[in-house]
């Protein structure tokens, strides 16, 4: 599934499934702009792509800052060209009992996980409209389908992102642009290891349908398909990558 000649922005590409997605889309031929506030992580991903013979730039950006997103868009244009693939993957997580979710905790979650994708999409969609072709993939979470204790703020942010994606899919359907959702479930990444102990991960694996967590590459493969030229009639869809832990 060749993406030769396309320019892709992957937010949060400095770690976990964002990094795996950068590597996969680069392998498929796209030039990659890795947008991450973790500059070292983004540079590591860019080096991995360069070593494999691909083209990538690491861009330090907080996706929740309109000014930084505008500067990142400008730099990506200058160095790689117009952008027609956007993967809104950057996000934060956290477990806080609902009664302890302060306004500050709530606002920060919504700012990064929901306003961030809005800002990135707003900045990049004019390139897609000019090209008459575009792919947007938004990374939500299985918790929007299953619910999750102590994660009201996180699930609200990801549920908002799912709704946002479907509305985009409707609004731009006649412009050659698709917008789709990938909700990961139990994927072994630094984020999972930061919030869940090794013992708890082992117990979750034991209970899971396949007996093990998913890998970042499993998400990357789904994203790559939705970004492909072949996926032109898949729009507003939710492509669950969960090993059969729930079936919809
Ligand atoms: N790991 C899982 O099991 C799981 C499950 C459901 C959903 N998700 C979602 O998948 C996405 C990727 O998660 P991951 O597990 O690979 O996490 P990760 O922590 O390994 O990677 C997230 C990346 O996003 C970057 N980032 C965070 N906030 C940012 C900001 N404001 N601006 C720029 N960059 C920012 C981080 O620096 C990091 O490089 C997230 O949106 C997460 O909510 C993960």
Q: Give tens-digit pLDDT for 83-111.
A: 999 999 999 999 999 999 999 999 999 99
Distance (angstroms) between ligand 1 centre and the Cα of 49 equals 20
Pocket test for ligand 1, best of 11, 18, 223 (most atoms within 8 A of CB): 18
pTM of this structure? 0.98
Pocket of ligand 1 contains residue 223 by CB under 6 Å: no
List CB contacts of 54: < 8 A, sequence separation 6 or more. 26, 27, 31, 32
Pocket test for ligand 1, best of 12, 151, 190 (most atoms within 8 A of CB): 12
pLDDT digits (tens, 9 = 90+) for 198-230: 999 999 999 999 999 999 999 999 999 999 999
Closest by Cα among 8, 172, 1 to 82 = 8
Gyration radius (Cα) of the chain, Å = 17
Closest by Cα among 95, 162, 117, 144 to 246 = 144
Distance (angstroms) between ligand 1 centre and the Cα of 90 equals 5
- Mean model confidence pLDDT for the chain: 97
Question: Quick check: 165 pLDDT over 90?
Answer: yes
- Domains of the chain and any CATH numbers: 7-231 (3.40.50.720)
Other beta carbons within 10 Å of 66:
13
């Amino acid at each position: 599934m060749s993406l030769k000649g396309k320019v892709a922005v992957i937010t949060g590409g400095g770690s976990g499934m964002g990094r795996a997605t950068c590597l996969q889309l680069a392998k498929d031929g796209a030039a990659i702009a890795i947008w991450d506030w973790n500059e070292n992580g983004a540079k590591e991903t860019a080096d991995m792509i360069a070593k494999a013979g691909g083209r990538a730039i690491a861009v330090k950006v907080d996706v929740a800052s309109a000014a930084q997103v505008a500067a990142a868009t400008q730099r990506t244009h200058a160095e790689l060209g117009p952008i027609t693939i956007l993967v809104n993957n950057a996000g934060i997580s956290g477990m806080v009992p609902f009664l302890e979710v302060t306004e500050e905790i709530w606002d920060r979650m919504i700012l990064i996980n929901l306003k961030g994708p809005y800002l990135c999409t707003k900045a990049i969609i004019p390139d897609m409209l000019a090209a008459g072709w575009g792919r947007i993939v938004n990374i939500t979470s299985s918790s929007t389908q299953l619910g999750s204790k102590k994660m009201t703020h996180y699930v609200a942010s990801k549920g908002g992102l799912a709704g946002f994606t479907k509305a985009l899919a409707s609004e731009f359907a006649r412009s050659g642009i698709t917008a789709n959702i990938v909700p990961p479930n139990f994927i072994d990444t630094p984020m999972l290891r930061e919030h869940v102990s090794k013992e708890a991960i082992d117990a979750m694996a034991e209970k899971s349908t396949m007996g093990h967590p998913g890998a970042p590459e499993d998400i990357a493969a789904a994203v790559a398909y939705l970004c492909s030229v072949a996926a032109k009639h898949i729009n507003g869809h939710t492509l669950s990558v969960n090993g059969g832990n729930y079936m919809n």
